[in-house]
Structure 1
């Protein structure tokens, strides 16, 4: 795909995002080009803009709660076709070989790259993503409601899985992840206690 796209770019911590025109990127062999449909705002995006995250790629397009349609696929991508609606999370790439990756704890990979921080994110008309970190989304969930599930929803669900299946669930804090997690826990008939 040729042409330019609108982006909201961060050039320096503590500065406002700037609307700019950038060339539409081309996907590498294991990447997909995505047409962004929605991108939610996470507190981590604000930490990035405020300069509270070290060594971001600059300039960078923030945004890691992305809902998008596949526009183009790289030469090695299987299973994702143009038009497929996907979600893209904060975790944008891992090595796949370290002790964390091979034990299902890839979120701890020392070599991980993060969407909207070390790779450009969803505050743009198009973005690139590694195919292994794109999740096909069901048709019954609209874009605006699906986007927060790509961060707060994933974090909450991972925590719920790790907590086990007891009748009671205790949570420390009540942010976006807890807000979503409590709804799932209550749906499953669990008693929930939040500690703040």
Structure 2
């Protein structure tokens, strides 16, 4: 098989010939059809997440078909199309796992970080953490649902039920969750990099009632805000934008340092909270909901050997929607 491999942080990925992995007990072998390119991949490759296995095959928004079954696999059959998300394994025994919060397990392992991921032709995955995918989505469209969609959905849940919702950073996750929030009857206020008129137009095309730079205040107070951009100074900006009782959700796994801010912008029962990964319940709920909305995916395809170009485009903010690596011809493998 071929895979794009990270040999050390801060280096471009290298196209490498590897042996096809063998599924162990409880695992499935997937022939990969598509894998989304996520900002978390950038955090791994750029050394901001500091504990990757090396060498590493990145990628955790994986769509594929089962090519082999390990011993004891009962959830799936050969040929099934399934998705593999960021959370790839948890212990199942700790108090977090036992209470349905496996995303907080101390021993959790993550796809494309401690487990080889989807920037290749094949991968293995724990059957417990794989999802059946809605038939309404092609492989290209389904891939971004598995992180941009799932983490965005968890962040939306944590934001509460307020009508006026701010989204800071209008990329892969925000373009999905804006559609869900609109379907729920909320009004969307989109914040982009200052001067990014293209991203603001993209947000309006998806129903945002207002779109502007992150250096601008919204035209009215917000009930909640979700920060998708990994930019610490957005936290006090969002606190200033939400009214009393509002919630600011930090949706990323990594963020630059948050500057100090005066207590009065937190006072008034405002809340700042983070979102850590996802639970399987989040995945099942969101993947059932997405086709009902229906969520439409803006996906930009790249070949496997173009992974570095896709990452560069994401890093530079040149994408509207989500980048996805696809099998040679973009068709199911």
Give TM-score, length-normalised by structure 1. Answer: 0.91
- Aligned to 1:153, the other structure's residue is in SS state helix
For 1:59, the equivalent position in structure 2 comes to 55
Matched, 1:169 2:142: no
Query: Structure 1 170/98 Cα, relative in aligned 2: closer, same or farther at 3 Å?
Result: farther
Per-residue CA distance 1:35-67 (angstroms, 9 max, x = gap): 000011111111111122112101010011111
Q: Distance in 1 between matches of 2:126 and 2:155?
A: 24
Among 164, 183, 188, which residue is 1:187 paired with? 183
RMSD across aligned C-alpha pairs, in angstroms? 1.6
For 1:140, the equivalent position in structure 2 comes to 136
For 1:13, the equivalent position in structure 2 comes to 9
Q: Distance in 2 between matches of 1:168 and 1:55?
A: 38
Aligned residues: 192
- Aligned to 1:186, the other structure's residue is in SS state helix
Per-residue CA distance 1:118-149 (angstroms, 9 max, x = gap): 00000110001000111011222011111011
Give TM-score, length-normalised by structure 2. Answer: 0.55
Matched, 1:29 2:25: yes
Query: Structure 1 162/55 Cα, relative in aligned 2: closer, same or farther at 3 Å?
Result: closer
For 2:78, the equivalent position in structure 1 comes to 82
- Aligned to 1:23, the other structure's residue is in SS state coil
Gaps of 5+ in 2: 192-213, 215-333
Deviation at 1:79, TM superposition (A): 1.9
- Larger gyration radius, structure 1 or structure 2: 2
Describe how 1:114-129 pairs up with structure 2 within 5 A: 114-129=110-125
